[in-house]
Amino acid sequence: MRRYWWYRAAGVILALLPALGAEALVRVVTTTPDLAALAREVGGEQVEVTAIVNGLQDPHYVEAKPTHIRRLNRADLLIYNGMELEIGWLPLLIEGSRNPRLLPGSLGLMDASEAVEVKLEVPQGEVDRSQGDVHPLGNPHYLLDPRNGVQVARAIAERLGQIDPDHQKSYLARAERFAEEMAERIARWERETEVLRGLEVIAYHRTWSYLSAWLGFHVVGYFEEKPGIPPGPRHLAILESLVRSRGVQVALAAHYNPLRGLEAFARRAGIRLVVLPASVEAREDVRSYPELFDRIVLTLREAFGEGS
Amino acid sequence: MVLRALWMITSVWLFLLVFSVGWGQQRIVSQTTVTGVSRAFNPAISVNALLLGMTQLETGEGSHGETAPEESADHTPGPLEGSDEHAHESLDEETAHEAHGHSLGTEGLFVQEVEVRFTAFADPHVKADLTLSMHGAEGVELEEGYVQTLGLPANLLVRGGKFLVPFGKHNPLHTHEFPFVEPPLVHERLFGEEGLNEVGIEVSWLTPLPWYAEVGGALLNGDNPSLFDLERGLAYSGRVRNFFDWNETTTLELGLSGAFQRQEGRGWSRALGADWTVKWTPLETARHRAAVFQAEVVSGKDREGHSLFGGYGLVRVRLGRPWWVQGGFDWLGEEAFRSRARFALVFAPTEFQAIRFQYSVAWTSGEEVEADHRVAVQYNVTIGSHPAHAY
């Protein structure tokens, strides 16, 4: 009879444990779904992660909805992409959040771009808006190189460990495991895309600079005349002659670019329009950071395999 | 009196705080200059300019079309003319004309406003914002200058200085953010041309309710040409703002606002407002579609004791990346009833410039002139630091 009582008590405690655990979760808010995916990889069961930007949206054009202010109000950690990607909307959300944990310089505010060692397209010399919507700190689409994703995941694990020292070891261990798995995958993706090395493509926006630097293909022209400036007819004509003279076969676009106009151009110029997911959650089957590159690599192989 | 002195000291202190504490830095540009003095702590600066061209169209009998502002005022008598003897001594012809919502004059090209904005963290605890404006091509005035706390406990946020009072949806907007060229009739009549823009201290609290609900109140110095009288001392304002995510693409905002000041022998002068906004933004941002439906009603009693009621409703639809079409109706009921319909087409090739073509027609009850038709072209350009946009 006595033993039976012990079993029951243990059962009750076990049933309550998840509830206790839920209380202690670290609440992480990220701006983009990519950062959310990385935070989930290293945070595991100890964190609750939400992203502000939906996978279908272009992170350049998000609005500072007060709903996000409520989310930030409760957050223990805000991870943002940085390099001025979110400059049009994030400052207002942070100010409105009234959350002392997210003050500039606090542990709770993390600029993920600080973990990235090699930043591309950092403008040299003077920058002004005659160059379009140029990012003075460099191209912010660094998570489209998986090696940067690994660096960022490590940095997130370190930051989580500082905020929640009880679980520091498990964050760092998960980041290490993620890095190892990614190293294998990266080697495989590189093998699978060897055919792309040295190929020339055109693209809508400077979204793919990190991806092309990693995989070794070249983006030789852009639909956008300057970053953020939609193409005019004169620029399209120049682009078309560029495509013909260099024998470009493929135009790359992100899922959130204006695809209808691009398709029309591709038909006219006789090239293939290849739409790549530019972030996690861009498609139903892209739910995690590795799946994003699985899909990108698969799409590129199909495009170049048939195109050449 | 003591209260007043205390008040003045507080205001002066706040301004000194804005100017004296080293400006914080927003962007990482760390270079020293020849003098060895770093510029890294300069505030972020942006400048906005509004240029306006406006003309009055043929209005049928009783109007000569090409009227100058003074003549036009003769032809379209202000609604306050012929009202009782309280009818503002200060409300001369020009002001009566202003009440028509055409305070900018009727014809010609104008520099409507130039606004210079400085923003920076003063230190780890407060952020400072300073906006200087030049109305027309004349004198400079302080449009807004305030410090705002960062991360106070208990979900509080305190703002002190001179600011556009958070009353409804229209009043907090700067001129270049107005949906149409002019403010709504009721706002111009009850708050004056500059809007309800006062020196004061505001405290707002983000409630722990399961939706975004913010409650705020302010103590104001009560200096307004129509609603408040500086002689009467403190004024008060309050605002409740609720925001709901209907679904992923549609949001609903409901708000209530009030502003009050005790007037000698006439009870309280007041403005009470309710506002309603529905906004639709599809997730597929590629086509840049959006739609906004907004309405606001304001009931007021000015410092002279005149009661009035007015409001506006508007629809803005974004057709594609650079194009917006919008239509709106606003009205003001006093002794006379005035109403106005406006339609505008906006072309905004980038975030930093926009051109607005507007047609408006205004009616006043009991006037000989049937309607007042106007067209306007407004050009809006922003340079400098990238401004963040409120939702």
Structure tokens at B18: 């804005």
pLDDT the model gives residue A102:
92
The Cα–Cα gap between A67 and B252 comes to 11
C-alpha angle B153-B145-B152 in degrees, rounded to nearest 5: 5
Residue type at A237? A
Residue B193 β-bridge partners: none
Q: Domain end: A161, A188, A215, which one? A: A188
- Which CATH number do you get for residue A110? 3.40.50.1980
Are B283 and A56 within 8 A, CB to CB? yes
Angstrom CA distances, B45 to A83, A87, A248, B42, B237, stand at 19, 14, 43, 9, 30
Q: Which residue of A has its CA nearest to B322?
A: A230
**Structural domain count, chain A:** 2
Instruction: Give the pLDDT confidence score for residue B183 in this predicted structure.
Output: 96
Please determine, for the modelled complex, whether the ipTM score is greater than 0.90. no
Q: Which two tokens stand for residue A166?
A: 């009880």
Q: Which of A4-8, A121-125, A282-286 has the lowest mean pLDDT?
A: A4-8
Domain-terminating residue out of A136, A156, A188: A188
* B171 vs B177: CA distance, rounded Å: 11
Residue B31's pLDDT band (boundaries 50, 70, 90)?
low
pLDDT at B17: 47
Every domain of chain B and the residues it spans: 2-21+44-384
CA distances from A96 to A69, A220, B241, B262 (A): 6, 42, 13, 32
Give the containing element (helix H, strand E) for A109: strand A109-111
The answer on A103 and A252 residing in a single domain is: no
Residue B388 has pLDDT above 90, yes or no: no
Mean pLDDT of chain B: 82
Strand B44-56 relative to strand A272-276, pairing = unpaired
Q: Strand, helix or coil at B306?
A: coil
**pLDDT (0 to 100) of residue B285:** 67
Identify whether residues A10 and A127 lie together within a single domain. yes
What tens digit of pLDDT does each residue of B195-215 get? 999 999 999 999 999 999 999
pLDDT at A7: 61
The two structure tokens encoding residue A281: 């959650």
Tokens of B49: 């300019």
pLDDT over 60 (residue A61)? yes
Predicted local distance difference test score (pLDDT) of residue A5: 61
Domain boundary among A163, A188, A213: A188
Would you say residue A16 has pLDDT above 80? no
Range of the domain at A152: 2-188
Predicted local confidence at residue B5, as pLDDT: 63
Closest residue of A to B210, CA-based? A70
Taking residues A70-82, report their average pLDDT: 95
pLDDT in tens, B148-181: 998 888 999 999 999 999 999 999 999 999 999 9
B23 — pLDDT class (breaks 50, 70, 90): very low
Per-residue pLDDT for A307 more than 80?
no
Interface with chain A: mutation pick from B285, B321, B381, highest number of A CBs within 10 Å: B285
Question: Does the domain at residues B2-21+44-384 carry the CATH identifier 3.40.640.10?
Answer: no
Residue B68 has pLDDT above 70, yes or no: no
Mean pLDDT calculated for residue range B271-300: 91
Instruction: Tell me the pLDDT tens digit for each residue of A97-117.
Output: 999 999 888 999 999 999 999
Q: Does the beta-carbon distance from A66 to B150 stay under 8 Å?
A: no
Partner B contacted by A125 (CB < 8 A): no
Summarize the confidence of residues A30-42 as an average pLDDT.
96
What is the distance in angstroms between the Cα of B192 and the nearest Cα belonging to chain A? 28
> Is the Cβ–Cβ distance between B196 and B188 less than 8 Å?
no
Clarify whether residues A152 and A209 are in a common domain. Answer: no
Distance from CA of B212 to the nearest CA of A (A): 6
Shortest distance, CA B288 to any CA of chain A (angstroms): 9
Q: Give CA–CA dist A299/A83, Å, rounded.
A: 28
Cβ atoms of B305 and B266 closer than 8 Å: yes
Kindly state whether residues A155 and A73 are assigned to the same domain.
Answer: yes
Which pLDDT band, with edges at 50, 70 and 90, does B45 fall under?
A: very high
Tell whether A91 and A69 lie within a shared domain. Answer: yes
Amino acid identity, position A7: Y
Q: Are B100 and B120 in contact (CB under 8 A)?
A: no
Q: pLDDT by residue (tens digit) across B239-279?
A: 999 999 998 899 999 999 999 999 988 789 999 999 999 99
Which residues, at least 6 apart from A271, have a Cβ–Cβ distance to it below 8 Å? A202, A243, A248, A249, A250, A251
